[in-house]
Structure 1
């Protein structure tokens, strides 16, 4: 036998419907659904990536000869990350023509080209937070046969663009 308690002010039809739902459902489970609607706004300021600096290392890699006309060499690039988080060096690309050092003014046509490695770099290179990392790009620098004779013994500046990702 089921006893119903009727609350003061409750509608008899609503109480009967609730009782029928309990009887038909076996009274084993009860579920409820609350819905609401609303609107609002929020804001947040994105952090800003500090500029990374690069430095090309002028010394040939251990066991490597200086570049000569018709030859290739590795590019060794030191990347300094001033950010408080690590970044992944995603790509390195040429950003203009190579120039010889000031001690070689007769080296007008350098013949130097930078061979952009495929992106993303493989293997990946992660520059730690507030640190530097030297990345060696095998065979990335070439010198063709158009180099001026005044380029002998010169060091070259190769402007590069780096793409990093957090």
Structure 2
């Protein structure tokens, strides 16, 4: 019985030693793999995003009346992307007060405000590469009751800031 125990004990020690050797050998291999070093250089120049242009559309959308004091209207803006890749229109925000066209000098207080849409725009708006897209922002332009009577029939310039992402 002692011989049988010794053989089993011997095999057990041998198996444990082999397992330990495999683990240690694997650890050494992993250490060598992760411990490699090297050097080199590389360079790349980042491209420059070309400025997008915008154009407000003066005509009301089909079935929509011109804006009046106390009312709201959709803002329709044509965005032109001169870049060779499409861009996502992320946000549109007011960039200053609205002004009336030159023919309406008596329109000093316009009463016009631009309601910034939620950021990011939803649904996502993608302006195609080297192309244009008309974006309609529902109810984004409002005219309050303080607008001057001289604003009747005026067209308004509303400066906007667009944020785009590639």
- The TM-score bracket by the shorter chain reads 0.7 to 0.9
* Residue deviations 1:69-92 (CA, integer Å, cap 9, x gap): 000000000000000000000000
> What does residue 110 of structure 1 align with?
110
1:132 corresponding residue in structure 2: 132
Residue 84 of structure 1 aligns with which residue? Answer: 84
User: Equivalents in 1 of 2:61, 2:92: separation in Å?
Assistant: 19
**Aligned mates of 2:37, 2:84 — CA distance in 1:** 40
Q: Compute the TM-score of the two structures, normalised by the length of structure 2.
A: 0.79
Matched pairs, number = 142
Q: Take 2:132 and 2:36, find their aligned partners in 1: how far apart are those partners?
A: 52
In 1, the alpha carbon distance for the partners of 2:36 and 2:134 equals 56
Aligned to 1:141: 141
Gaps of 5+ in 2: 1-17, 20-24
Q: CA RMSD in A?
A: 2.0
More helix by share: 2
Q: TM-score, normalised by structure 1?
A: 0.79
Detail structure 1 runs of 4+ shifted over 3 Å in the superposition.
30-35
